[in-house]
Structures are given as structure tokens and as C-alpha cells.
Chain A
């Protein structure tokens, strides 16, 4: 079974721009979660989608948004990028129920 795939792996953007990151979950997994990882704040939960609906949301500003498609693939969007948005963005998928998360390799976003 293929793992969680995140694209692109690396991204450089300029302040004020917007960016879209993509995540393809493991086949059959309907839950997709997004996390931001930075040296200062560690791993922070952004949001989770299940069957195209946002089910959980972390404490991030409205510039951070996401969506999930009918095939469970998910995208997250960050608008009006700030330097502090530079981070490793990790996507994780899970089968139904409370189980472990299966993580992708992440997208390293650098805002300059």
C-alpha cells in the first residue's frame, strides 16, 4: 500500500503570496489531518477533515484553510504569507476511529 504523499516537498515563497499544499492519504483512509512543525512551537495541529468536512480545528488564524475532496485527497492553503509561516507542514491520514496517524514526509515551506 502506498503511504501518505505530500507535494511539493520543498517550496520557497515571498511574503504576501499564497501557497497551496497537497496531500494524498493512504488508500481507504478518510481522515486527513494537517500539522505545522517549527523549531520554536513544535508540532501544532492545524485542522482535520473527514469525508470532506472539517471535523477538528486548531488555533490558527483564518489565513490557514483547507479542504478535502471526494477521493479523500486534501489541500491546505495559506494566504498572505508571513515569515513566521516558514515551517515543515505535515499531513497525516487515519482510518476511521481513533488510531495512530500515518504521516507523509512533509512539505518544507520557506517564506522569504
Chain B
């Protein structure tokens, strides 16, 4: 079984500041890792994914994440946030096709 812990439920940050959203996971088997973003009353949109290879993964909208196997972490970062980045962010792991386990989400609020 897999589990995902998003360490911060809410992250407030000022516009143009850097941000890090933290995600730890637990699994007895190899997993694939994902970050999704959800805007109000919308579905989830993939930001980035780690399947294999380079541990630094770049995604859309300037986001990146680093896979750390020894610390079982997959933290999401952005060097400079915008108001439009205000949303809920979900970390997810998947070990079998068609089934993902999600964290509880982190609400990112970007203030002017």
C-alpha cells in the first residue's frame, strides 16, 4: 500500500516570492510520482511527473520538483509565484495502472 503526506495544509506567500510545497510518501514498491493543481470547481491538472531518470523534474507554469529516494520526498518548488498560482495542489503516487493515492492537498494563497 502507498500513502502520501503533504506537510503543509496551507501556504500563504507574497507575489514574486519563492515557494516550496512539501510531499513525503511511503511505499513498499517502486512508485511514480505526480503533482496536480486544482482550481475552484475544476478537475485536477497535471503539473509534472516523475517516472524515472533525472530526479529534477520540470513542469508547466514554471514549477519543478525533486525526487529524493532516500528521504522519500517529492517537494514542489517555484522560484517566483504569481497571483494566478493561487490554487490547491495535490501530490500523488501510483504503483499500478489506473490507481493513484493522493495527499490531502496544500492550499497555496498568493497575496499581492
Q: Which residues of A contact B (CB under 8 A)?
A: 4, 6, 31-33, 35, 42-43, 45, 48-50, 55-56, 90, 92, 94, 96-106, 108
Contact = CB atoms under 8 A, between A and B. Distances in A.
A74 to B, nearest CB: 11
Given A33-B98, A50-B97, A100 B43 contact: no
12 contacts: A31-B98, A42-B105, A43-B102, A48-B99, A50-B98, A56-B96, A56-B98, A97-B97, A99-B32, A99-B51, A103-B36, A108-B41
Given A43-B90, A98-B32, A100-B34, A48 B98 contact: yes
User: What DSSP secondary structure best describes chain A's contact surface?
Assistant: strand
User: What DSSP secondary structure best describes chain B's contact surface?
Assistant: strand
B101 interface: yes
B24 interface: no
A104 B45 CA distance: 9
B100 A45 contact: yes
Contact of A4 (B43, B96, B98, B105): B43
Interface in B68-112: 90, 94-105
A55 B97 CA distance: 9
A97 B97 CA distance: 6
Contacts of B102: 35, 42-43
A103 B101 contact: no
B44 interface: yes
B72 to A, nearest CB: 18
B73 to A, nearest CB: 19
Contacts of A55: 97-98
